[in-house]
Amino acid sequence: MVAWPDPERMRDIAEADVYKSGRFAGTLRRERDDIVFRYAEAYRADTDAPQVAFTLPKRNGIFRSTGGSVPAFFAGLLPEGARLAVIENFFLDMAAACGIRVPDHRLATDRNGQTALFVERFDRVPGPGGVRRLAQEDACQVLDRYPASKYRISLQEAIIGLAEAVQAGAGSRRSAVLHMLEIAAFSYLIGNGDLHGKNLSIRQAPGGIWEVTPAYDLLTTQPYLSWKDPMALSLFGRNNKLHRRWWLEAAERLGVPARACDRSLNRIIEAAEPWIDRVIEIGFEEEWSKRLAALIAERRDHLRQPS
Ligand SMILES: Nc1ncnc2c1ncn2[C@@H]1O[C@H](COP(=O)(O)OP(=O)(O)OP(=O)(O)O)[C@@H](O)[C@H]1O
Ligand SMILES: [Mg+2]
């Protein structure tokens, strides 16, 4: 997976290379308020090299867009903010239905038709003198790794690191492991390929005891990654085709009885069933809705079947 530069700093990027099927095809460059896409000469001259997009025919060679925006084709490669809000809202609702703790959340649309997702912060609680801040650390932090390593740890390292920190903070290691396995199994189910070392966290609850935070950043990444995005972190060497037996064995290796994991998986499988047909509510184009429903149904079978 790509580590994107800080979005704030992306505003300062003046030039970017454009690749078509892995081949260098041209450049996007800022020119005052305009952004110009220029085909590379060699690419343009090669009659076998396809145009980058329908709206970017090679014969023109240069395309200028004004007002600081990229040509529409490039803008269309990015998921829209509103769409992302709807997707995440859907999967937070689904996770809650599956018995996974999530923060309170709500979709809202303003009078200009802009949709946003409001999510309650789990690192803040009302206190006597105003808002009280709770300590929170993600897996990279407890493992003393920098954010850039968020894809370079294993899922079991993340889970063990956080669960041991919970235990050191007077909390239950076992329920922490189980909770994180549920988040991971749910992520697998929905095709969330971005469960990395900064997407699992623990916090010090108001009473002082440490626990896993409600789940966050839960959404499917499949439609954006060719429908074959594996898990971001592998679980005991596997990042795909995670059948039931794999989860049960992982649980035991992590010190949780297989029967506890068994109950969690049953609960998730059962509760997830009616959500498969509901993916249409997200509003993807029909083809994507069908593929996503099929993917979730297939993975649900994986969670159900021993191997
Ligand atoms: N409800 C919440 N309360 C408090 N902190 C939160 C909450 N949701 C997310 N966070 C914190 O904010 C960080 C960013 O949130 P989130 O993971 O949803 O964003 P993101 O931009 O998708 O991140 P990335 O793409 O790097 O995974 C999280 O890593 C977590 O530490
Ligand atoms: Mg995140």
**Cα separation, 58 vs 55, whole angstroms:** 10
Q: Indicate whether 229 belongs to any domain.
A: yes
Greatest distance between any 2 Cα atoms in the chain: 71
Q: Are residues 24 and 158 in the same domain?
A: no
**Residue numbers of the domain that contains 251:** 85-304
Domain identity same for 147 and 271: yes
| CB of 122 closer than 6 angstroms to any ligand 1 atom | yes
Please tell me whether residues 289 and 168 are part of one structural domain: yes
**119 within domain boundaries:** yes
Give CA torsion, residues 183, 185, 189, 192, to 10 deg.
50
DSSP string of 73-98? HHHTTSPPHHHHHHHHHHHHHHHHHT
Task: Say how many Å lie between the CA of residue 213 and the centre of ligand 1.
Answer: 11
Cα of 199 to ligand 2 centre, how many Å? 5
199 lines ligand 1 (CB under 6 A): yes
Q: Does residue 28 sit in the same domain as residue 146?
A: no
5 within domain boundaries:
no
19 plus 144 within the same structural domain: no
| Average pLDDT score, the chain | 92
Predicted confidence at residue 238, as pLDDT, reads 98
Distance 64 CA to ligand 2 centre (A): 34
Q: Whose CA is nearest to atom 18 of ligand 1?
A: 217
Instruction: Give pTM, 2 decimals.
Output: 0.79
Is residue 214 domain-shared with residue 100, that is, in the same domain? yes
Ligand nearest to the CA of 151: 1
Question: Domain boundary at 25, 50, 75, which?
Answer: 75
Same domain? For 26 and 60 the reply is: yes
Residues 157 and 281 in one domain: yes
Are residues 116 and 53 part of one domain?
no
Q: In which band, very low, low, confident or very high, does the pLDDT at 74 lie, cut at 50, 70 and 90?
A: confident
Note whether 174 and 266 are same-domain residues: yes
Q: Mean pLDDT check: name the lowest of 90-94, 127-131, 171-175.
A: 127-131
Domain boundary among 25, 52, 75: 75
Domain boundary among 75, 100, 121: 75
- For the chain, how many structural domains are there in total? 2
- Taking the C-alpha atoms of residue 286 and residue 93, their distance in angstroms, rounded to an integer, is 21
- Distance, in Å, from the CA atom of 268 to the CA atom of 226, rounded to the nearest integer, reads 26
Q: Is residue 141 part of a domain?
A: yes
d(CA 241, CA 28): 39
10 pLDDT more than 70: no
Q: Examine the domain organization and report whether 281 and 214 are in the same domain.
A: yes
- Taking only the tens place, the pLDDT of each residue in 199-228 is 999 999 999 999 999 999 999 999 888 899
Same domain? 188 vs 273: yes
Distance 295 CA to ligand 2 centre (A): 22
Rounded Cα distance, 93 and 21, in Å: 37
Q: Which atom of ligand 1 is nearest to the CA of 105?
A: 1
